[in-house]
Amino acid sequence: MRAATSVMFLLALAPALAGSGANTFDFGRVGPLRIGMTQAQAEQALGSRIKLTGLKKTRGPMDCGMGDVRIGSATVSVLFDGNRLQQIGFSDPGIRMSNGLGIGSRARDIERVYGKSAPYQDPGRPSRVWSDSNLYDENDHRIHVDPPLPARNGKGFRGAKPPGIQFDFGPLSPESKVKEISVGQDYAEGCA
């Protein structure tokens, strides 16, 4: 009886233990969510429904939908395109990479880990770390980091670009701090 009670306790605790990675992110994932998941897979990973807005349904899978979900104590934004999770965004300082980078990290910290960023040139850029400014506010800057070469196969993603990480700042200097992070595909405004 005691063994059965212990097993039941561990089974009940399993979701909490599995969620211990909820406060981490990396190329292609935030907590239990992975870029390329269907909505059903994402809901199963979260253990809750995802309410999406902005859906445009034509023939086949949905064209686009966005919503907010809880991962641990953080709220993150999700964007589905073609019924696949394409982008996850957040501004919660509690979500970090295993190397410590996250909201509040400085631009120099990102470049220390990934190398100096080069100005954006074109999608065929040789640099894996590049920077640009917001389309609507040239004082809003971003540093983009593409995944290491083995992960750059682009399978399961809309478009040819594999999922990277975008660190958003205000004016860019070595001391600028990250305000927002997006993991996945680059979208300018919603599904555009």
Instruction: Give the residue from 46, 164, 49, 26 showing the smallest Cα distance to 95.
Output: 26
Determine if the pTM surpasses 0.75.
yes
Q: Pairing mode, if any, of strands 141-145 and 64-71? A: unpaired
Question: Which residues are CB-neighbours of 165 under 8 A, at least 6 positions away?
Answer: 25, 27, 144, 145, 181, 182, 183
Domains assigned to the chain:
2-184 (2.60.460)
Who wins on pLDDT, 184 or 57?
A: 184
Degrees, nearest 5: CA angle 127-26-103: 90
pLDDT at 123: 56
**69 pairs with which residues across the strands?**
76
The pLDDT tens digits for 49-68 are 999 887 665 555 557 889 99
The pLDDT tens digits for 126-161 are 568 888 887 777 788 888 898 876 544 444 444 446
The amino acid sitting at 50 is: I
